[in-house]
């Protein structure tokens, strides 16, 4: 089992950049595929990005492709989401997630472990 704690959210202006971090507990972090999802008010939680155990596979949602970058540091048990060119429509609670089957899937049910979320607000 793994516990996930997100940080780095905040209030920024359109066009700004922000980096989210997700710290994972346990000594088997490198065995998990990791992902980021987000949920805006009144909307369903949606896939943002995922990263495989070694970082060799990094699928992205079309809405963030070219603006967001997911990465991981297995030595630090941390996954990151670098967000640039932020838009008001990126405003949401961002959730870190993990699965132990190593698959970089894009659907909610593919992940067993979730963090508590961090708020990102982008003003226009």
Predicted confidence (pLDDT) per residue in 89-99, tens digit: 999 999 999 99
CA distance 75 to 50: 18
* Average per-residue pLDDT for the chain: 96
Q: How many whole angstroms from its chain centre is CA 84?
A: 14
pLDDT > 90 fraction of the chain, expressed in percent and rounded: 95
Q: Which helix (H) or strand (E) holds 3?
A: none
Q: What is residue 26's predicted lDDT score, i.e. its pLDDT?
A: 78
Tell me the mean pLDDT in the region 46-69: 97
End-to-end CA distance of the chain: 40
Residue 88 burial by Cβ neighbours in a 10 Å radius (0-12, 13-18, 19+) = exposed
Judge whether residue 76 has pLDDT over 90.
yes
């Amino acid at each position: 089992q793994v516990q996930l704690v997100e940080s780095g959210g905040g209030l920024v202006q359109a066009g700004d950049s922000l980096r989210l971090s997700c710290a994972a507990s346990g000594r088997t972090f490198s065995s998990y595929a990791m992902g980021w999802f987000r949920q805006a008010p009144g909307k369903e939680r949606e896939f943002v990005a995922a990263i495989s155990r070694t970082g060799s596979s990094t699928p992205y949602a079309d809405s963030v492709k070219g603006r967001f970058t997911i990465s991981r540091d297995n030595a630090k048990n941390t996954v990151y989401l670098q967000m640039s060119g932020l838009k008001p429509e990126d405003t949401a609670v961002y959730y870190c997630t993990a699965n132990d089957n190593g698959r970089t899937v894009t659907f909610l049910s593919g992940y067993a472990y979730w963090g508590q979320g961090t708020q990102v607000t982008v003003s226009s």
